Amino acid sequence: MMIKPEDISIGITVFIDILGFGNRIAKIETVTEIQSIYKELWHVQKQFYYKPTEKIISHINKLYNKKVLAFSDCLVIHIPLKSKATQSEGDFDPLMSEFLSLAYSQAACVLDSIFLRGGIDIGWWYSDQDIIISKSLLQAYHLEQSISVPVIAITNDVFEYFSNHPHRKWYAPEVDPLSIFRKGIVDNKEIIFLDYMTICLEGLDWRYSKEQVERYNNANKEERQRIINEGYQYNIDYWLKKHGNNIRNAYNATENDKIKSKYSWLATYHNNIAELFTDNEEAFIELK
């Protein structure tokens, strides 16, 4: 078979390691245990929008020509720069929205106590049925392997591509789309990663119960604003408590100091972001 230039896709490639799955798979002895891993792997894959039941999301995936593949303890995602979604408006906004989608998917997994570590690169990708050849996949994998903490990092090439993209100039500095990325220090080395906590907290709704919405509907203008403000804070604090508890539980579940250090780093990230959104002491983590 002759590979043609048009068979090569240039795009964003994501490699995600599902932490702890490798050790669990290595210890499997029964079909029941395989079934358990399968269900969890399918759940994670579904979070990243693989063949979703929602028609609108399925339609969006087709427009982007998005692929989400699952292998034992990892996911591989590829999103081409050129697709039906980018034909009319270019690749900046559609792909920035895909980064947001990745952040929401990661957060959903963490809230289910499934921690992920990943790398994202930009480059070429070729696939034919069950064969994949890709420099961007290789680079994304190497990045994931080089960091020790549960975040999804991006290569310098990804950051430079979007940082220097001409469509970035359409946005004012205070609404810079690249604010979804955060810099951090891991093992004395700077990394750039998806700031999934800030993305999710800023995207929370104010509604949390039928009773609250009913009070809103019966309230005057001033009271309605108070209900909205309180609702936002309630949901922020609830999200942070759950996120923090899952980090604490993962930290306490291991005796391995190396693994503990990963969750200690994540706890620091959690607390740094929490300071920006709340003064509720229950939303912060203290690991012992």
Q: Which domains does the chain have, with CATH numbers?
A: 5-202 (3.30.70.1230), 210-283 (no CATH)
Q: What is the pLDDT of residues 219-232, one digit of tens each?
A: 999 999 999 999 99
- Percentages helix, strand, coil for the chain (3-state, rounded to 5) are 55, 20, 25
Specify the pLDDT at position 52.
47
Cite the DSSP H helix spans in 73-209.
92-111, 135-146, 156-163, 196-202
> Considering only CA atoms, which of 88, 87, 77 is closest in space to residue 118?
77
Specify the pLDDT at position 64.
53
Residue 51's pLDDT band (cuts 50, 70, 90): very low
- Residue pair 168/92 in contact by the 8 Å Cβ criterion: yes
Average pLDDT over residues 69-97: 87
**Strand-pair category, 116-128 with 152-154:** parallel
**What predicted TM-score, i.e. pTM, was given to this entire model?**
0.91
Q: What is the pLDDT of residues 116-167, one digit of tens each?
A: 999 999 999 999 888 999 999 999 999 999 999 999 999 999 999 999 999 9
Report the alpha-carbon distance of residue 268 to residue 235 in Å, rounded: 21
- Residue pair 136/122 in contact by the 8 Å Cβ criterion: yes
Q: What is the pLDDT of residues 230-240, one digit of tens each?
A: 999 999 999 99
Report the alpha-carbon distance of residue 266 to residue 137 in Å, rounded: 25
- List Cβ neighbours of 183 (8 Å cut-off, separation of 6 or more): 190, 191, 192, 193
